[in-house]
Amino acid sequence: EVNADKSRTPDKNLDLLNLINGAKETVQNMKRDWENVPNQNQDFAPWAEARMTQIVNFFGSMGGDGIKAFKDFKGMPLDKRYLPSGYDVRNKLYLRGGSWAGNRSSVISAGRSAVIAEINAIVKNRTTNPPAADTAWNNLVSALRVPDGATRMNVSIAHFSATQYDVDHMDTLSVHWQSSGGNNGGDTDRWDLSKTSKLRYITQRDNLKRGKGSYVGWVGKGFTSTYAEGGATNAKKIDGQSFLDGPGGSPI
């Protein structure tokens, strides 16, 4: 196709052919190049994915030169846009903008009152009305609110005062992010997880028992956010920083 196009000068066509052949050689030599990296500690698949993303972006630019075989690459969203290094997904895409601070305060206030009420019911009834005390104790157990070191027979307000409580998201945010609900959708789905109805007041002890998981460092084609160019589709930047074409790669 390049040779058949007479609208460009022979030198321009030669330059394009050299670039295409360079891309071909890059693909053919990827395994060798990966093996030759000193102290290679990255699996081949993600390393090759980053290299292929660069090649696809390069072909996209060739579409701008009128080469029909490559024109469809130009401007099309990447399957993955990698986040800037160190980007804090939890705080910047889930908690920020989702009324987290105010909702957290409301959950703490309601949770504290509920725990104190259950403890007072246990203390009041454990001798005179054991069934009522059992009900209150079971409420603490099922809600993951039993104070540290407490039992049904000794629990007191002092136990409560000595216990650290947390506000926990009922849905694990990292799991939501990795399930494509977070990394391939808009802000609303992420922010909804911080509604008061989806938060709970539990002991730090129980909170730490929950696996929090990790956040994959990329977003899918359908990802949008008000922090990524005001909610634009296929945004190239997030919080003023460029998305990358691969792990530790170049700005897209």
Find the largest Cα–Cα distance for the chain. 100
pLDDT of 74 higher than 60: no
Confidence at residue 60, expressed as pLDDT on a 0 to 100 scale: 66
Determine the average pLDDT of the residues in 115-123: 98
Is the Cβ–Cβ distance between 156 and 119 less than 8 Å?
yes
Q: In this structure, is the dihedral angle defined by the CA atoms of residues 60, 64, 69 and 71, taken in order, positive or negative?
A: positive
Confidence at residue 206, expressed as pLDDT on a 0 to 100 scale: 96
51 vs 33, more confident: 33
65 vs 198, more confident: 198
Determine the average pLDDT of the residues in 37-56: 84
Average model confidence (pLDDT) for the chain?
A: 89
Confidence at residue 87, expressed as pLDDT on a 0 to 100 scale: 95
Per DSSP, the three-state class of 28 is helix
Confidence at residue 238, expressed as pLDDT on a 0 to 100 scale: 95
12, HSE (Cβ side, Cα atoms, 13 Å): 11
pLDDT digits (tens, 9 = 90+) for 229-244: 899 888 889 999 999 9
For residue 59, name the pLDDT band (cuts at 50, 70, 90): confident
Confidence at residue 210, expressed as pLDDT on a 0 to 100 scale: 85
pLDDT of 224 higher than 60: yes
Confidence at residue 201, expressed as pLDDT on a 0 to 100 scale: 98
pLDDT of 54 higher than 80: no
Supply φ then ψ for residue 165, to 5 degrees: -110, 150
pLDDT of 73 higher than 60: no
pTM for this prediction: 0.68
Which helix (H) or strand (E) segment holds residue 200: the answer is: strand 199-203
Determine the average pLDDT of the residues in 74-97: 87
Confidence at residue 76, expressed as pLDDT on a 0 to 100 scale: 62
Confidence at residue 104, expressed as pLDDT on a 0 to 100 scale: 96
Q: What is the number of other CB atoms lying within 10 angstroms of the CB of residue 130?
A: 13
Q: In this structure, is the dihedral angle defined by the CA atoms of residues 165, 102, 224 and 222, taken in order, positive or negative?
A: positive
pLDDT of 29 higher than 60: yes
pLDDT of 57 higher than 80: no
Confidence at residue 8, expressed as pLDDT on a 0 to 100 scale: 81
Confidence at residue 181, expressed as pLDDT on a 0 to 100 scale: 76
pLDDT of 70 higher than 90: no
What are 148's two structure tokens? 């540290």
What are 89's two structure tokens? 């997904």
For residue 119, name the pLDDT band (cuts at 50, 70, 90): very high
pLDDT digits (tens, 9 = 90+) for 126-181: 999 999 999 999 999 999 999 999 999 999 999 999 999 999 999 999 999 998 77
